[in-house]
Amino acid sequence: MCFISLRRLPDHAGGAPAHRLMLRALLWDVDGTLAETERDGHLVAFNQAFEALGVPWRWSEARYAELLAVAGGRERLLHDMQRQARSPRRADRRRALAERIHRLKNERYAAIIGGGAVALRPGVAQLFDDCERAAVRMAIVTTTSRANVTALLEARIGPDWRRRFAAVVCAEDAPRKKPEPQVYLRALAQLAVPAHAALAIEDAPAGVLAARGAHVAVVVSRSVYFASADLPGALAVGPSLGCTQGWRPAVERPHASRIDLQQLSLWHAGQ
């Protein structure tokens, strides 16, 4: 069992200053981090919504990868409409169509997730358990909607999923989306935890920028759409929380089979 002490570090401990607290909170991104929801959920649901509404375009995986540079599903729609020859010419009509598509997309997304098509990524559930045993608080920090978060976590954890998170900050709570740090700042305020005592888990450059903008250290578990993205500022980067190979810097515990809370704490203490 892994326990995290909340005592203050001595001046000589791993080079950390005396005022720095040990790890007290783990802050989770959702899409791409908890599960491969972008490829296996949102993209599928968007294309289903296009078809159901008679919208004459579809997004390929390659096009959706490009659109992920734009934060937020509704914002991606509006961005893409600017290049679609058959989208409404008037801005107000484009916004109205984007709203209809996005609303139906979220309904289809909930059905896809509820049908069991998207699992949590390896190592995620085990880290949830690590944090619960060690009394390390957890938060959700995402630019997706609360309904989408609920759909995923109800399906994968159960109807009482909310009790595991001390804060849940979604698109409705932080309208200035990543890479803006607003979602992190609001989560830290709700947790009443200083930034240097928290650690973020992200998968994409915008998430890294958002966390670092709030002075929160970041560990990146790469997702399919950001498998080779440049991620300056990340504390550690690897392919999956479910394995110890391929991480930079290397995992310090050679007998570990996954990235556990103890390894995250070692990285966090050494920053």
Q: In whole numbers, what is the pLDDT of the chain averaged over residues? A: 91
Query: Which pLDDT score is estimated for 71?
Result: 86
Q: Which CATH number fits domain 13-35+120-269: 3.40.50.1000, 3.40.190.10, 3.90.1150.10, 3.60.110.10?
A: 3.40.50.1000
> Sorting pLDDT into bands at 50, 70 and 90, what band is 160?
very high
The segment(s) of the chain belonging to CATH 1.10.150.240 are: 38-114
Task: Given the residues 11, 31, 160, 260, select the one marked as catalytic.
Answer: 31
Contact present, 59 and 67 (Cβ < 8 Å): yes
Whether this model's pTM surpasses 0.85 = yes
CATH T-level assignment (fold) for domain 38-114? DNA polymerase; domain 1 (1.10.150)
Mean pLDDT of 121-150: 97
Q: Which residue from 10, 3, 85, 25 is spatially nearest to 214, judged by alpha carbons? A: 25
Place of tokens 């759909």: 151
Q: What is the enclosing helix (H) or strand (E) of 54?
A: none
Query: Which pLDDT score is estimated for 253?
Result: 83
- Residue 129 annotated among the catalytic residues of the structure: no
The segment(s) of the chain belonging to CATH 3.40.50.1000 are: 13-35+120-269
> Sorting pLDDT into bands at 50, 70 and 90, what band is 85?
confident
- Residue 29 annotated among the catalytic residues of the structure: yes
Residue 12 has pLDDT above 80, yes or no: no
